[in-house]
Amino acid sequence: MKKTSGRLADGREIVYYDLSDDAVRTAVDRRPMPAIEALSEIRHDPLLDEWVGVTAHRNARTYHPPADECPLCPSREGRMSEIPESDYDVAVFENRFPSFRGAPGKEESEGPSGLFRHAPGAGRCEVVSFTSDHHASFADLDEEQARLVLDVWTDRTAELSRSPGVEQVYCFENRGEEIGVTLSHPHGQIYGYPFTTPRTTRVLRSLAEYAGGPGGGNLFDDLVAAERAAGDRVVIDGEHWTAFVPYAAHWPYEVHLYPTARVPDLPSLGEAARAEFPGIYLELLRRFDRVFGEHEPPTPYIAAWHQAPFAAEPAPGLADRAEFALHLELFTIRRAPGKLKFLAGSESGMNVFINDVPPEAAARRLREVAS
């Protein structure tokens, strides 16, 4: 993998990752662009004890441009995009409309009893364009290209973890208009959060409580071992990865993918697991596209990497980062052909999910559509 860093016209960083060591990246972004103005703020919700980002500038972000105006396609004569080169393997650049950006600042409190806490929305948001082919999807990549994306996620995680104020790095892909994607070009994003996310905080609390319970042990390890022993929800059982539909799946079709050897983050992943990952992950994505039948449009999904926080101080409930288990969660909001799973009153109002598809049935179906 060859890595080449450059700058866009407004000063944002762009990084090319190429399969060939002979790749040369010299194209210059000549667009007349003003400096980026991202006024991000985070505000604390005292009832839920979690942070919320407030980002008015994101209202102006690009929304469903036509294919010939896609900002993630390579640039060409007379039409410059966010990527100045005429072709590329994988490109990563700072988001022009970031949810979090810049160095950390002082937290302040206002109002009665100081309940209104706020701080600059520090951190970094990046766009990862998986391929220069506008009409492809991640599932269309070959194993060499998918491995390159894994190496990119790993490198960016390491880079962002060293950024001032970043406490957690989140690599993810949203696919499909039903999910809310506003650019159809195959791409993902990486967020460097200035705090440990609410979901991870809850997981860490459960991890600590389980370790301090009668049986002790690591909750991640015991959960994966229990799913493997049960067997009926296992979708793919590889040498270095296990993919299964969780016992209490929230979504109609939801798969969790764990490396056999527990590691806290992508940079800690061993070579054997790296080598096996592309084949298993591509197979999962292709099964998701087949699960509703050949006449259905591509399945919308979210693919999310969960990694241990990189906070300077250990996160609550996590005495040692090595106790956390890196894993990927893949799920779709489609519950049946032509039908979506909407977050209704119970899910949105009380965070109580109601799943219409039994996890065992979902796992069975995902095994049926194997390549």
- Using one digit for the tens of pLDDT, what is the confidence trace for 179-195? 989 899 999 999 999 99
In 3-state terms the chain splits into helix, strand, coil percentages (rounded to 5) of 30, 25, 45
pLDDT at residue 340, as a whole number: 94
Give the number of other Cβ atoms within 10 Å of residue 107's Cβ.
11
pLDDT at residue 165, as a whole number: 87
Among the residue ranges 31-35, 149-153, 186-190, the one predicted with the least confidence is: 31-35
Nearest to 325 by CA among 202, 234, 207: 207
**Measured between alpha carbons, how far is 251 from 242 in angstroms, rounded to an integer?**
19
Mean pLDDT of the region 44-67: 85
Fold of 199-303+324-368: HIT family, subunit A (3.30.428)
State both tokens at 17.
């990752």
Which residues are CB-neighbours of 237 under 8 A, at least 6 positions away?
228, 243
pLDDT at residue 6, as a whole number: 97
Q: Catalytic residue at 134?
A: no
Res. 353: pLDDT tops 70: yes
Indicate the SS3 state at residue 56. Answer: helix
pLDDT at residue 65, as a whole number: 84
pLDDT at residue 145, as a whole number: 98
pLDDT tens figures, 68-122: 889 999 999 889 999 999 999 999 999 999 999 988 999 999 988 999 999 999 9
Torsion of CA 158, 163, 169, 170, to 10 degrees: -100
pLDDT at residue 66, as a whole number: 84
**Measured between alpha carbons, how far is 367 from 362 in angstroms, rounded to an integer?**
9
Mean pLDDT of the region 13-35: 94
The CATH number of 2-193 is: 3.30.428.10
Give the number of other Cβ atoms within 10 Å of residue 320's Cβ.
9
pLDDT tens figures, 155-183: 999 999 999 889 999 999 999 999 989 89
From the candidates 185, 187, 306, 327, give the one annotated as an active-site residue.
187
Residue with tokens 């049946």: 336
pLDDT at residue 58, as a whole number: 77
Same-fold call for 2-193 versus 199-303+324-368: yes
Please tell me the pTM assigned to this model. Answer: 0.95
pLDDT at residue 207, as a whole number: 95
pLDDT at residue 60, as a whole number: 65
Sequence ranges of the domains in the chain:
2-193, 199-303+324-368
